[in-house]
Structure 1
Amino acid sequence: MVSGKEVLVAAAVFAVALISHSEGIMGGREAVAHSRPYMASIQVPEGNRLKHICGGFVVADQWVMTAAHCLPNEPDGRKVVLGMHSLSQPEATKQTFDILRIYNNPTFNPLNYDNDIALILLDRPFVPSEAVKAVPFLRAGGTNPTTDDEVDTAGWGASNNLGSRPDALKELFIDVYSPGLCGNSNHFGSKFTQNMMCAHRVCPKPCPSRIRKEDTCDGDSGGPLLFNGVVVGITSNGGRKCGQLRKPGIYTIVSHYTDWIDATMAQQPAAAAAEPSS
């Protein structure tokens, strides 16, 4: 005979299973190799190797855009790798760069990640190829996507809340979430600002997958959010766990920073190299 305690334990296990399935991550799909030639991997030294920590994307011949929360003010040995599909495999398409200078937006707020945008000046221009190209980004006056519009992103971020990382670049097609709901008190509340947009995708019921939520996660930060092939956002942050239904991914709206981007990129690389980093 089953005891009352055993029934309670079984019920608890079942409840946890339901929560993990509804709040879990559906990790998109592997991208076709080098089909997103603007993608950048920001990496830190770890022993004799380099470890991916954040994404980014190429916007000009010597410039990569990313999220400010990914970077300190100094390079600290970080590298930027372009033309990469696999984190571990040798690829002739890879180009590795030192960071000449980091420009974090001066109004970045680490408490709520407002103004989460940064520019990286590479130590030299990249060599254009089918695997390395710049991507256009939306400027002031352009049209941003609205609620339920499909957008897409990519990265080498975690595929679950246990920190499992893919080796190859993955891509994700998601939907813009209502900004009114994203700023609601049971979502992000006052943390959500006019410089942010939310996006995720929830599989409609009945769902063919046991995991119902598609979302970006740890390690995807700094990557691009695209609408019709143009970057409109930068992967910024979300809930403490990825894939929560009321915590869609948050993306910095790039078109709000046109003046700052232009002023920063107008600086001559040679002059920037001669100046001390701030």
Structure 2
Amino acid sequence: MGWGRLGTSAPTPSALQELNVTVVTFLCRPENVCTLVPRRSAGICFGDSGGPLICNDTLQGVDSFVIRGCASRQFPDFFAPVALYVNWIHSVLRGAGGAGSRSRALSPGHDRP
């Protein structure tokens, strides 16, 4: 789901886009959730990072990366699984009372989850 372009030179869509995907395990690392769109060249692309993977109305993952370009049909799309980061997300939100604490929590090099 997102506002990403439907092609490398296509304009930004005027309506929110949604794509039905299949969760797959082949070529997927244990620390990721991976998806593929059977029989179609479709999926996440550069610039889509941070977009949601929603299953049964629940956020399951966040767009992370692709291998060998967009919609390769040979490699799945990779998502960071939200469940692995719930404690870290809660700690960041608790510390987000002031701009300074939020900036430190999200800055590069900060202790990772």
**TM, length-normalised to structure 1:** 0.34
- Gap change, CA 1:220 and 1:165, over 3 Å in 2: farther
Question: The residue matched to 1:155 in structure 2 has which SS?
Answer: coil
Task: Please state if 1:194 is matched with 2:1.
Answer: no
Q: Report percent identity of matched pairs.
A: 28
- Gap change, CA 1:221 and 1:163, over 3 Å in 2: farther
How far the C-alpha of 1:156 sits from its partner, in A, is 1.6
Is contact 1:174–1:214 with CA below 8 Å preserved after alignment?
no
1:174 corresponds to: 21
Q: CA–CA distance in 2 between the matches of 1:238 and 1:276?
A: 28
Q: CA–CA distance in 1 between the matches of 2:82 and 2:88?
A: 10
1:220 corresponds to: 48
Question: The residue matched to 2:62 in structure 1 has which SS?
Answer: strand
How far the C-alpha of 1:246 sits from its partner, in A, is 1.7
- Gap change, CA 1:264 and 1:199, over 3 Å in 2: same
Task: Please state if 1:164 is matched with 2:6.
Answer: no
Is contact 2:5–2:13 with CA below 8 Å preserved after alignment?
no
Question: The residue matched to 2:37 in structure 1 has which SS?
Answer: strand
Higher relative contact order (CA 8 A, sep 6+): 1
- Gap change, CA 1:235 and 1:165, over 3 Å in 2: farther
How far the C-alpha of 1:266 sits from its partner, in A, is 1.0
Q: Which has the higher strand share?
A: 1
How far the C-alpha of 1:245 sits from its partner, in A, is 1.5
Q: CA–CA distance in 2 between the matches of 1:197 and 1:218?
A: 18
Note the residue ranges of structure 1 that are not aligned, 5 or more in a row: 1-153, 184-192, 204-211
Task: Please state if 1:273 is matched with 2:99.
Answer: yes
Is contact 1:213–1:243 with CA below 8 Å preserved after alignment?
yes
- Gap change, CA 1:255 and 1:173, over 3 Å in 2: same
1:197 partner amino acid:
V
Q: CA–CA distance in 2 between the matches of 1:239 and 1:262?
A: 30
**TM, length-normalised to structure 2:** 0.78
- Gap change, CA 1:252 and 1:277, over 3 Å in 2: closer
How far the C-alpha of 1:164 sits from its partner, in A, is 2.1
- Gap change, CA 1:260 and 1:275, over 3 Å in 2: closer
How far the C-alpha of 1:225 sits from its partner, in A, is 0.4
Q: CA–CA distance in 2 between the matches of 1:172 and 1:276?
A: 32
Give the RMSD, CA atoms, in angstroms: 2.0
How far the C-alpha of 1:171 sits from its partner, in A, is 0.9
Is contact 2:92–2:102 with CA below 8 Å preserved after alignment?
no
Out of 38, 42, 57, the residue aligned to residue 229 of structure 1 is 57
Structure number, greater radius of gyration: 1
1:254 corresponds to: 82
How far the C-alpha of 1:274 sits from its partner, in A, is 4.9
How far the C-alpha of 1:216 sits from its partner, in A, is 1.6
1:221 partner amino acid:
S
